[in-house]
Chains A and B, each alone.
Chain A
């Protein structure tokens, strides 16, 4: 394989990592906004958040991506392709992330809120100083699973001509004609990135556990990332 093809793969890798990073950041924003909104006292706010989470958990990411890239121009909007990719991926992952945020906030014992009330914190202080710091610790492991899901989903952008790792892999396959080796190599590549991401999340997990004075997280059985409720 020529140096040019290797460079192509490197370019593709960078695009994949970019999509994963930006998708994760924007996805976190959606997840927190919608997850906290689902707990709002305001019915309208709750309703909008519910529509978002149920909607995007029912829409395939690929269809959302196609809509942003091929349908939206029909209404007179043309998005930057990379932005369209990041937006589609983060809208999708954010809907699952919102359930993680909601579940984690609800998992903080009511007794903690009562203690905060007994110390006369305002409702917002209770959330900011007591509930969220504990909830975030519970969010880290499921967010780690979602991060790998996001990485996997980035491959979809190759179908709308964004030149990510999978797209460049197709070019390499066409150039070398070695189908088996190319696709196997791609799979190994994604597997390695996923492994690195998982390791990073484990580090964060340990830091988060330390913020509650624990040495290890109580890691229950790994339940798949797309299931935020009902398992166990």
Chain B
């Protein structure tokens, strides 16, 4: 039986007077690979940031692994979650960012071992072994002692992917991870992610403009427009036979661009 790992139930979010998410509901099953596409400002990134607890919804409920994300039970009532509850919930997820956000004060190896040591409580040796394995997988075994500022953008992003995987998350959030990269560097990052999708049993939510990649790895594609999901289908169906005019229009503009 498949289980719902993530549930958005009637989630609203506005910034000032822009509606970012408009009464949004959807679910993601454990192990599913979901790609979020749509024009910029349509709310895709906000979904990921909410799952990472970086942004709170104005109303509605988000459930992660059976627990409300932004609420905790106090007796019989649900109250706004405190830092403690959020920390428990964050164990399920981790995120890779558009701008990599590696820690500039740590060398590559330490970027990957720091959280496993301080958050998961791993022994330093164990964390380093895990980190070496992951850095080898992303093709950076030779850069363990480099500082982030000494790496190319593509290399930094691959370190960031290793850093995220070292936490052994249930859910991996990928927020436009190739948008800041030249096509060639983007390709090497996407290759690594294809590898990840093959080898790790992790639920993936991916915001991207790389349509070929989306087609290759996702089980389902969600098309966003103005804070709503206007179409949801397996990639072959959505890319080859979109039902909505808005989706067709968007896909045309993305293809024209590339």
**B-contacting residues of A (Cβ < 8 Å)?**
111-112, 114-123, 125, 129-130, 133-134, 137, 211-214
Contact = CB atoms under 8 A, between A and B. Distances in A.
B128 interface: no
Interface string B95-134: 1010101111101000000110011000000000000000
10 contacts: A114-B54, A116-B103, A117-B54, A118-B94, A119-B164, A120-B119, A129-B118, A130-B105, A134-B105, A214-B149
Nearest to B148: A213
Given A118-B95, A120-B167, 8 more contacts: A112-B101, A116-B103, A117-B53, A129-B103, A133-B105, A137-B105, A212-B147, A213-B107
A124 to B, nearest CB: 10
B91 A120 contact: yes
Contacts of A137: 105
Given A129-B114, A133-B105, A115 B146 contact: no
Interface in B138-164: 146-150, 163-164
B83 A123 contact: yes
A115 B101 contact: yes
A120 B53 CA distance: 10
B90 interface: yes
A188 to B, nearest CB: 40
Contacts of B148: 213
B147 A117 contact: no
Given A129-B118, A134-B104, A212-B105, A117 B52 contact: yes
B149 A115 contact: no
Contacts of B93: 118
B243 interface: no
Interface residues of B, number: 31
Contacts of A116: 103
A108 to B, nearest CB: 10
Interface string B194-211: 000000000000000000
Chain A binding site: helix, strand, loop or mixed by DSSP? helix
B101 A111 contact: yes
A211 B105 contact: yes
A130 B103 contact: yes
B149 A213 contact: yes
B207 to A, nearest CB: 15
B74 to A, nearest CB: 21
B87 interface: yes
Given A111-B101, A114-B97, A114-B101, A121 B115 contact: yes
A118 B92 CA distance: 10
Given A111-B99, A115-B97, A115-B103, A121 B119 contact: yes
Contacts of B97: 111, 114-115, 118
Contacts of B91: 120
B49 to A, nearest CB: 8
Q: Which 5 A-B residue pairings sit nearest by Cβ, starting from the closest?
A: A213-B147, A115-B101, A119-B115, A133-B105, A118-B95
Contacts of A119: 94, 114-115, 119, 163-164, 167
A194 B113 CA distance: 42
A212 B149 contact: yes
Nearest to A112: B101
A125 B107 CA distance: 18
